[in-house]
Amino acid sequence: MLGPHLVLDLYGCPKEKLEDVKFIYDLLDELPEQIGMQKIMPPYVMRYVPEDDPLDWGISGVVLIAESHIAIHTWPDLNYASVDIFSCKTFNIDLAKELIEKKLSAQKTEWEILVRGREFPINLLKRGRNAAV
């Protein structure tokens, strides 16, 4: 496989945290090192309020890591956040979940791991097939 993709749905998070651009920035700035990833740029975080539905507002942010990316989207009025960590190398999934749940003070978390790149060319080469990389 190319790598794991951790998908988190976090419920019951305090609105104060989910609406705070600096708080979300700091989370994305600190998390890569805490889970053994290499940040290759500072996080990019913005507040978004759609004109057609002002209740569907929130904070979105991403940090690119050498291994891929970490992204977060928040819905403060719904006390909900979604977080994705995609990496082309394995990482401590339990630690990542624990750090994010604690930082966002989530009351409930649903999560899953997507296995990305099951037929990624490196696997094809290991099996002796000729594949372009």
Of 60, 69, 82, 88, the active-site residue reads: 88
Of 60, 69, 73, 105, the active-site residue reads: 73
Residue 82 known to be catalytic = no
Residue 69 known to be catalytic = no
Q: Which residues pair with 36 in a beta bridge?
A: none
Q: What are phi and psi of 7, to 5 degrees?
A: -120, 120
Catalytic residue annotation: 68, 73, 88
